[in-house]
Amino acid sequence: MSEPTPRLAILGDADPTAVVRSAVSAADARLADPAEADGIVAVGDAALREAMRAVASGEVRSVPILPIGDGRHALDPESATELLADVVDGLGASPAAIDGFSRVAHPVLSVEAGSDDTGPLAAADVAFVTAEPARISEYGIAFSDGDEVSMRADGAVVATPLGSGGYAAAAGGPVVSPGGGLSVVPISPFTTRPDTWVASDGLRVTVKRGEEPVALVVDGVRSGTIAPHCPVRIETAATVELLAPTAE
């Protein structure tokens, strides 16, 4: 009996998506909806985050995701058209290994405010930003190991390893390797020598002082406001597998 034809879903609406679709068809794979796919090809950062959140939430099956674009672990579009056949062959033959790629586990974060409020999922970062310009708030960060710190700043950002090279890095934070923890960085801190942290696990962020609510921004999208003294728990909800090209 012949092996079933691998099914790939393609997310993204940029110009390379049409080229990727043609390459998938040429590799003898079947295009499918994400809920029925054996793997997901995400073209661009927005599509990658959408795919990661969908897998983490259980909206689709736990399948590997191939990022295409210019982000971390992503395959550039030109190389993707040449290597997609290897991905298709790997998905059809063995779930353990795909020639030319490694499986990289990345966390997707849950964001919960209050006692039982379940909020959005974050594939890249969670930011707390003062809604009014020139307003400085004080943030309390409680880490899972029991340590607590305070910082005065315009805001704060908590980033996954995938997101640590974006907004968090621009704010002065470290770029974290997969499995290295969460990057915690103040935004425009009220000090000349700001600290940054790498949290090994989940944490809790509280606006300790300030008259105005703080905007909660998840993966670049505003998701409401956080009142002073309302703790926000940020924890790993699930891990998803990205297919990253191995160095030659």
Burial of 118 (0-12, 13-18, 19+ CB in 10 A): exposed
The residue with tokens 């966390």 is 107
Can you give the pLDDT at residue 1? 42
| Cα 235 → chain centroid | 13
Strand 7-11 with 30-31, pairing: parallel
What is the residue type of 12?
G
Q: What confidence score (pLDDT) does residue 41 get?
A: 92
pLDDT at residue 92, as a whole number = 60
CA angle 83, 87, 88 (to 5 degrees): 115
Please determine, for residue 72, whether its predicted confidence score (pLDDT) is greater than 90: no
CB–CB of 168/226 below 8 Å? no
The DSSP annotation for 162-184 comes to TGGGTHHHHTTPPPPPTTS-EEE
Cα–Cα distance measured from residue 204 to residue 227, given in angstroms and rounded to the nearest whole number: 14
pLDDT, average across residues 50-67:
94
**Paired sense of beta strands 197-199 and 182-189, if any:** antiparallel
Could you tell me which residues are beta bridge partners of residue 150?
140
**Spatial separation of the C-alpha atoms in residues 144 and 147, rounded to whole Å:** 7
Q: What percent of the chain has pLDDT over 90?
A: 46
Which is more confident, 229 or 142?
142
The model's pLDDT over 200-225, given as tens digits with 9 standing for 90+, comes to 888 999 988 766 778 999 999 999 88
Mean pLDDT, to the nearest integer, of 10-39?
84
149-188 pLDDT, tens digit per residue, is: 998 888 899 999 999 999 999 999 999 998 899 999 999 8
pLDDT confidence of residue 115: 60
Q: What is the pLDDT of residues 98-148, one digit of tens each?
A: 777 888 899 999 999 876 566 899 999 999 988 665 567 889 999 998 899
In degrees and rounded to multiples of 5, residue 22 shows phi and psi of: -65, -40
Q: Residue 93: is its pLDDT beyond 70?
A: no
Q: Where do the H-state alpha helices sit in the chain?
A: 16-26, 45-57, 77-93, 167-170
pLDDT score for 106 = 94
CA–CA dist 92, 79 (Å, integer): 20
Token pair 């969908």 is found at: 54
